[in-house]
């Protein structure tokens, strides 16, 4: 089991879910997760992960960059966004949800990449999925 409290910046694994948590406290309890990696354009799926800032240094804002790349290596989604330091709870973690834009993707294979950066520190998770 990873010790997220030691690394200055780290990510949990990515989970695909059919519903989002409404508040930080019940986010995991309200998820309907799936091991499926093939979806139809009408599915309403999200990717979920947690961002951790370990150690004892002051919490910092992070930049999350989400990319979805198709089978021809063309970027079809490139979405940077900021996660302010205030988004991190007392336990130094923040939940992140990304609605997958399945209705706008053509049938085929895709690569989801989520990268976070805080100063010179980075962490990244990648996951394949397909649209039927």
Which one has a higher pLDDT value, 17 or 25? 17
**Residues near 48 by beta carbon (within 8 Å), at least 6 away in sequence:** 14, 15, 16, 17, 20, 27, 31, 95, 96, 97, 98
pTM for this model (two decimals): 0.89
Helix (H, G, I), strand (E, B) or coil at 30: coil
Among 21-25, 40-44, 78-82, 95-99, the range scoring the smallest mean pLDDT is 21-25
Tokens, residue 117: 């950066």
Residue-wise pLDDT for 51-98, tens only, equals 999 999 999 999 999 999 999 999 999 999 999 999 999 999 999 999
């Amino acid at each position: 089991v990873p010790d997220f409290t030691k690394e200055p910046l780290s990510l949990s694994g990515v989970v695909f879910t059919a519903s989002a948590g409404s508040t930080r406290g019940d986010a995991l309890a309200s998820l309907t997760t799936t091991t499926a990696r093939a979806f139809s354009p009408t599915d309403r799926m999200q990717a979920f992960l947690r961002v951790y800032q370990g150690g004892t240094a002051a919490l910092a804002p992070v930049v999350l960059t989400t990319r979805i790349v198709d089978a021809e290596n063309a970027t079809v989604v490139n979405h940077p966004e900021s996660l302010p330091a205030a988004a991190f709870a007392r336990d130094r973690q923040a939940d992140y949800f990304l609605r997958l834009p399945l209705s706008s993707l053509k049938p085929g294979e895709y690569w989801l990449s989520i990268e976070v950066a805080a100063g010179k520190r980075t962490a990244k998770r990648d996951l394949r999925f397909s649209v039927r």
